[in-house]
Structure 1
Amino acid sequence: MGIVWDTADAVFAENLAAARAYFAEAGTLAAPRHATALDKPVGQWLTNIRKPCGLGKDPVRAERRAEQLAAVDKEWNPALLGWTVDWQRHYVGLATLLADGALLTGIVPGVTYRGDDIGRWLTRQQRDFTRLNEEQHKRLAKLGVQPAVQARTEAGLGNAAFQRGLTALAQYVEREQRAVVPRQHTEQITIDGQDHEVRLGVWISNQKSRRDKLSGGQLARLAELGLDWT
């Protein structure tokens, strides 16, 4: 007969329905604050209920509501996992693009998903890889994401000259999809806003001739880029 016993639960149920509708489209409840669904401000609502006591002061009711949200998206509150809503939304966007057939090398700044620049976010994750937690590392690794060359310096990858050569090789392999570099080839790279010209073919030949002096980390990175002699 349309009797509403508890108006608070009724409002929650309406917003939960909107959250389900949003999830069906976006694949996540990590909605931006301005997001709407079913004419409801679902983004703001999700922001509010993630706050302390956002699900109500009654612990039984709060637990029930949390279970209802988890039934829609078990990661509806990314703070419990150790990262932000923004990170979660971009991660889902990256995973969706890859699942739809995009190549990781093709997701560069300017490539977007539902209005978010996934390419720029991906570049930032690779650059700041060491700042992420272990679970974030695992999730990105499952998608094939590796830290940028600069982020590997702490792992014993050597001096600036080696770093420049490694950056040039990574750029070449990404573009050509092979690690066979003509000896006379020169690669143009940009590091921290500065342009560099690397005689890549000669550099690789030099690394090969002195491979017994390279560190394990250096050899491992060169192997990752396809140099079979490592």
Structure 2
Amino acid sequence: MAPVGIFLKKPRAAARKAAEIEQQRAEGLPVGSSAGALSDDRSEQLEDIDTSWCPTWPVEWQTAFHLTRQHLEAGGELPTEPGDVVHQGEDLGRWVKSVRFGFDKLTSVQQWMCEHILGITPAGEDEKPKPRTSQADKWALNYTAARQFYEREGHLRVPRKHVETVRSEEGPELQYRLGAWISNQRSRAATLSPERVEQLSNIGMRWTQHCAAPGSAGAGRPR
């Protein structure tokens, strides 16, 4: 017996053609031949079997949904990770995970189907991967820690192993290895942008033992 997805491939294509013809008629455009379009009687027969036989979302999504449903009805557990269950070439665990993490991108009908038929719930905020911090953002965060140190101590002579604690806007305290960061900025002074050099110089950065900033008169190479 052929899989349901293969059996429905031609009727779905015929249904799409019928929908295109109806759209052309509604817009008053010339309508070509209706050969190959799904008849109303055939469409009603398929609707009686499954109202979602020809979904507005991708057929691949619908196929994975039905395969997951079959797996559950056969007594299997809901796969949650890639590789948990592979059925008819479909990695159901990978699909379930993509549904959970992309739940807000589904239509309301898809969400209802996943929740009430398969028991899939959207991923919680604590499960979602945190957005990666860009290098520019990391530099800005460390600079904030350096400025806080300068405003408190009146200088930027930070011990090599010093860790600066900064309270973030969200509330939790964040720790920065400020001593190591300052040392790295000093060693990379020649490659820093003029803007960053100026920002650090404004809060007392000691670029060399003579305290000259890169690019200024008498500045030496960082040591």
TM-score where L is the length of structure 1:
0.42
Structure in which a larger fraction of residues adopt helix: 1
Higher Cα Rg, which structure: 2
